[in-house]
Amino acid sequence: MKPTGFAKIQNTFAALVIPIAFVIALFVYFVLMGASSNFQGNNPDNSPLQGNFLGIIYKGGYIVPILMTLLLTVLTFSVERYFTIGKAHGNTTPVKFVARLKEFLAADDIKGARAECDLVQGSVANVAKSTLDQYELLEKDKNMTKEQKILALEKNIEEAISLELPGLEENLPTLATITSLATLMGLLGTVLGMIKSFAAMANAGAPDSVALASGISEALVNTAFGIASAALAMVSYSYFTTRIDKLTYAIDEASYSIVQTFAAKH
């Protein structure tokens, strides 16, 4: 099945997020954080002014824009998934919808069940409505046996689910990847900062205090950014996968109820 216009927009959006986030990160790093007014003597090569947070982060080095890109990507995809999965829930909770659907099925009111699907909308309702449409077609079919009809109904359910789930899980693999990638990039920045620190301490005579402070600052900033990005990605991924699991359970429950009703009454 070809992607719909909305799906194409989603795919384009996902493909552009990381490049745009990287451009924003570079702008923030070099223009805002690297502004001369953030440093002693108006020179970015010097230490940042006391308490100047932007200057402190700037001293994290060139790993900072990469970590900022990962953080912006996590924030963007989290907001996008929040609204997308919220829309997939429909106009009521999946639990209430499944309970209402069972009431219509128990009363053998297929038209009422379909009307409820139209009213609620969302992923669970979409799968249920597709299954109910097939239900009505199979009721009129006089050539298929009962077992064949049930198999056809179950196949329709699988196809409907396969159309709904990919849209719900989109961009979640990226969040899962960032969970590990942000930690590794933060660790890389930490190691680079410590290398600078030890290099400053290795100077003959008194250590280069500016280089030593810069190296320690780079290490700590990258550590903080990496941990923050990874933690946010992990929480976001867990939250959305839990919501999708609840939707999947509701879809299975609604589908099972429809199949059982068909098997019992035909």
CB of 101 within 8 A of CB of 54? no
Give me the tens of pLDDT residue by residue for the chain, a chain 266 residues long.
444 445 555 566 667 888 999 999 999 999 998 898 988 888 888 878 887 888 888 888 888 999 999 999 999 999 999 998 988 888 888 888 888 888 888 888 888 888 888 888 888 889 888 888 888 888 787 788 888 888 888 888 888 888 888 888 888 999 999 999 999 998 888 888 888 777 777 664 555 666 666 677 777 888 888 999 999 999 999 999 999 999 999 888 888 888 888 777 76
φ/ψ of residue 102, rounded to 5: -65, -35
What's the confidence (pLDDT) of residue 69?
A: 94
Domain ranges (residues) in the chain: 5-88+173-236, 94-169+250-265
Residue 197: count of CB within 10 angstroms of its CB: 21
The string of DSSP letters for 95-157 reads HHHHHHHHHHHHTT-HHHHHHHHHHH-HHHHHHHHHHHHHHHHHHH-SSS-HHHHHHHHHHHH
- Among 197, 199, 190, 226, CA closest to 214: 197
Radius of gyration of the CA atoms of the chain, in A: 28
- Among 25, 56, 28, CA closest to 40: 56
HEC string for 195-218: HHHHHHHCCCCCCCHHHHHHHHHH
Amino acid (1-letter code) at residue 1: M
What's the confidence (pLDDT) of residue 181?
A: 92
What's the confidence (pLDDT) of residue 10?
A: 59
Q: CA distances (Å), 32 to each of 20, 29, 37, 99, 237, in order?
A: 17, 6, 10, 54, 30
- Tell me, yes or no, if the pTM score tops 0.75: yes
What's the confidence (pLDDT) of residue 208?
A: 62
